[in-house]
Amino acid sequence: MIQKIVKRKTMLKGLLSLSAASIVIAAPLSVVSCEKISYNDGFFDRPVNWYSPFNSKTGSSDAFANDACSILWDEEQELFYSWMLFRDGKGFPSGWIEMTSPDLNTWTQGKYRVKHGSEFENINNQKNQTSALGGSVWVDTKGQFFDQGDVVFVISMQPSKILTNNGSEEIGKESNIESKKVTTKNDYTTDESGIAYFVSHGLGQDFYTSGVLSKECLNKDGTLDWRDTAVFETDDGVYFAISAHDRLEFWKINHFGNKPKNEGTEKITKVSELFVRNIGVEVPNVVRVDNNLWYVSASVQDNPFGGPFQSAWWTLCEWDKKDGFIPVYNVNGKYERYDMNKLQNRQAAYEVKKEQPHAKVIDWSKSEKYKDLINPWTPNEYGTEGYAQRVVNPYQTQLQKAIDAKKAEETIKYDEFLIARSMTSNWAYNTDIWSWKGGTYGSERIQWNKDRTALEFLPNDKIAGYSDNGTAVYYLKGENLEEGYTLKFDGKNFTFKLEFDENKKNGKVTWNNQLNTGLKKWTNQGGPTEQSDEIIIVWNKSTLTFYNRTKNWNAHFMLPQGTTHTKNENAKSIV
C-alpha cells in the first residue's frame, strides 16, 4: 500500500501586484548531486528573464528542455509553479522538470517531478526507452475527482508502465484509492500517445496516486498523431483539448477510474473538434478570457516536411455544452458565432488534398468548390526554427474559484492577462536541434485593450531607458519600415521592410538577415501590416523578436551565442 501524505491546505488569496525586474539566475545546488559544479561552460549567457535548466545530475549545460506547460499560482507559498519537458543530456527518456518563480521572471529549478524510473517505466524492458510528452496541470478546486485542492497532471505518454512510490511499486498491483483491487496490469500501461495522470495534495508535493486516463491513441485517422493535453474547466465539466494531426479535439473527462462506482464506464468522451490545417497541428492551448469567451490556439508546424516553423494559430470561441467550441468574430464590440457549416473542415480538406496531391499544405484558394470556406484562425508567430507556443492564465485556479463563487469583480481581476511563451530559446547555439538548450520563459503578454474589445500581444518585460546589458528595444510605426529598417548584429545587417502590392494595399513585413546563423529553415515574411501599426523590436542577447502590436503577430529569430549589436537611435532596454 502507498502511504498517503498529509495534505497541505492550498490557500488561494488575492492577486498580487507583479512587475518584471532585473534578474540574475543561478541554479540551486540542491537540485544536483555532484560535489563540484561549473556553470561557466559558455552556454549560460542566456537572454534576460529567460531560463534554461541544468542537468539534474551534474549541474552542467548537458540538458534539454522544451514545451513549458501550465503555470499555477500558489498563494500560501507565494510562488508560481511551472513545468517543462526535460531530459539530462541529449538522449531519451524525458520527463518533466518543475520550476518555481515569485514573479514570472526569476525561475528556480526544482524537482525532476515526472521521471523515468520513478513515475513511469518501460514496458517489458524494451530496448527503446519511453518518455513523457506534453500535457497540462489542473487543480481540482471542487473535489470533483480527487480531494479538494488536489493538483492533477494529465500527460501524453509513449508506451509506458505507470509507477508510484518512487518506482518501487507498480500501481497496477493495488490501487491506493479506496483500497480497490485491480486485477489487470494493462489498466496501468499506455500505448503510444496514451494519457497518464499523476496527482498530489498540493503544488510542490509528491504524487500520492496515478493512473491511466486513456490507454491508447484515440485518433483513428491513421496518423497516430494524438498528444499534448490541455485541461480546462467550463461551467458544465472538466475537459481537455488534444492535437490530432490536422485539428484540435475536445474531450470531456467523466472520471479517472479511481472509484468503484466508475467501473465499466467510459473515462473520457469526445465532444467536438476544430479543423486547423491539413498537416502539422500540435500543442493546443485553451484559456478563458471572459465569462464565456475562450482563447484557443494550436502550434502549426512545418517540420513534418522540412519547412520553416510557423507556430501559434489562435481564435476566440464560445463554449457550448453540446457542440463544444464555436469560433466567434467581433461585430462592433460584440461577438457573433460563425456558422460551423461555413468553416474549413477536415472532410473538405481531404477533398482539396485530392485536387492537390503534391501539396504539403493545401491551398484553399485554388479549390473552386471549397475556396469560400472560412478560416477562423489568425497566425501569431513567424520566424525561424523553434517549438510551439504555450499560452496560460497563471491565475486560472483563482479565476475558477471566483467563477464558482459568482464574484464578478474577482473574475475580471483574475482574467486580466495571459502569458505566452515560445519554445525557441536557443542561446546555446547549435544547428543540431538536439543540442539546443531548450529553456523558456521569454514571455509575451496577452491582454485586453483599454476598451476590452480586442486582445493585444506585447512583451511581458519591463522596458526602460537604454543600458548596456545585452538588450535593445525599439518602438516604431509601420511607416518607419517602408524604406527598410536595419539593425546591425556582429556588423551584419538584419533589415525589416514594409512592402505593398501593386495597388499599394495589403501591406506585409519581410526581412533579410545577413548574419550567419547556420540555420537552414527560415521564413522571410510576417503578417499583415499598415503604416500606422505599432511596432516593437526586442533584441535580447541571442534572440530577436519583432512585434506588430496592432495586428497581434510576432516573428521570433534565434541569433548566435555572444551576438553583439550596434544600437540605433532611441534604443531602450529590458530592465
Is residue 364 a part of any domain in this protein?
Answer: no
In a shared domain, residues 501 and 409 = no
Cell of 475: 518602438
Cell of 14: 488575492
Check pLDDT > 70 for residue 548. yes
In a shared domain, residues 263 and 208 = yes
In a shared domain, residues 248 and 144 = yes
What are the beta bridge partners of residue 201? none
Is residue 127 a part of any domain in this protein?
Answer: yes
In a shared domain, residues 290 and 205 = yes
pLDDT at 45: 65
Residue 440 carries which DSSP code? B
Output the CA angle 10-49-205, nearest 5 degrees.
25
DSSP H or E segment with residue 414: helix 408-414
In a shared domain, residues 431 and 297 = yes
Residues 6+ away with beta carbon under 8 Å from 223: 244, 245
| Contact (CB, 8 A) for 317 and 239 | no
Check pLDDT > 60 for residue 15. no
Residues 6+ away with beta carbon under 8 Å from 235: 292, 403
The rounded mean pLDDT for the chain is 82
126 confidence band (pLDDT: 50, 70, 90):
low
Mean of pLDDT values over 455-479: 93
Mean of pLDDT values over 383-392: 68
Mean of pLDDT values over 256-274: 94
d(CA 525, CA 293): 31
Mean of pLDDT values over 89-102: 85
For residue range 339-377, list pLDDT tens digits in order: 999 999 999 999 999 999 999 999 999 999 999 999 999
Is residue 9 a part of any domain in this protein?
Answer: no
User: In 272-363, where does DSSP find H-type helix?
Assistant: 346-355
Is residue 511 a part of any domain in this protein?
Answer: yes
In a shared domain, residues 439 and 546 = no
pLDDT at 125: 65
Is residue 530 a part of any domain in this protein?
Answer: yes
DSSP H or E segment with residue 258: none
pLDDT at 442: 57
In a shared domain, residues 436 and 532 = no
Question: How many beta carbons lie within 10 A of that of residue 530, not counting itself?
Answer: 17
Q: What percent of the chain has pLDDT over 70?
A: 81
d(CA 278, CA 388): 17
Question: How many beta carbons lie within 10 A of that of residue 316, not counting itself?
Answer: 20
What are the beta bridge partners of residue 510? 497, 525
Q: Could you tell me the residue range of the domain that residue 72 belongs to?
A: 64-171+186-338+376-455
Residue 158 carries which DSSP code? S
Look at 77 and 558; give whichever has higher pLDDT.
77
Look at 127 and 290; give whichever has higher pLDDT.
290
Least confident of 113-117, 128-132, 185-189, 234-238: 185-189
Mean of pLDDT values over 375-387: 77
pLDDT at 310: 67
Mean of pLDDT values over 11-37: 31
pLDDT at 388: 61
Is residue 92 a part of any domain in this protein?
Answer: yes
7 confidence band (pLDDT: 50, 70, 90):
very low
208 confidence band (pLDDT: 50, 70, 90):
very high
Task: Please name the amino acid found at residue 49.
Answer: N
Is residue 48 a part of any domain in this protein?
Answer: no
- The owner of cell 467581433 is 330
Is residue 360 a part of any domain in this protein?
Answer: no
Check pLDDT > 50 for residue 166. no
- Domain-ending residue, one of 455, 481, 502: 455
In a shared domain, residues 399 and 507 = no
- Domain-ending residue, one of 455, 489, 508: 455
In a shared domain, residues 306 and 406 = yes
Mean of pLDDT values over 192-197: 95
Least confident of 38-47, 379-388, 404-413: 38-47
pLDDT at 165: 54
Q: HEC profile for 375-402?
A: CCCEECEEEECCCCEEEECCCHHHHHHH
Residue 116 carries which DSSP code? B
- Domain-ending residue, one of 434, 455, 476: 455
CA atoms within 13 A on the CB side of 281: 29
60 confidence band (pLDDT: 50, 70, 90):
confident
CATH number, domain containing residue 511: 2.60.120
CA-CA-CA-CA torsion for 65, 70, 76, 77, nearest 10 degrees? 10
Cell of 146: 480527487
Mean of pLDDT values over 419-439: 47
In a shared domain, residues 475 and 556 = yes
pLDDT at 337: 98
What total of structural domains would you count in the chain?
A: 2
Cell of 294: 475562450
Residue 187 carries which DSSP code? G
Mean of pLDDT values over 8-30: 31
Residues 6+ away with beta carbon under 8 Å from 412: none
In a shared domain, residues 151 and 212 = yes
In a shared domain, residues 121 and 242 = yes
pLDDT at 416: 79
Look at 88 and 76; give whichever has higher pLDDT.
76
Output the CA angle 154-194-263, nearest 5 degrees.
80
Cell of 131: 518518455
CATH number, domain containing residue 86: 2.115.10.20
- Closest among 141, 155, 145, 22 to 73, alpha carbons compared: 141
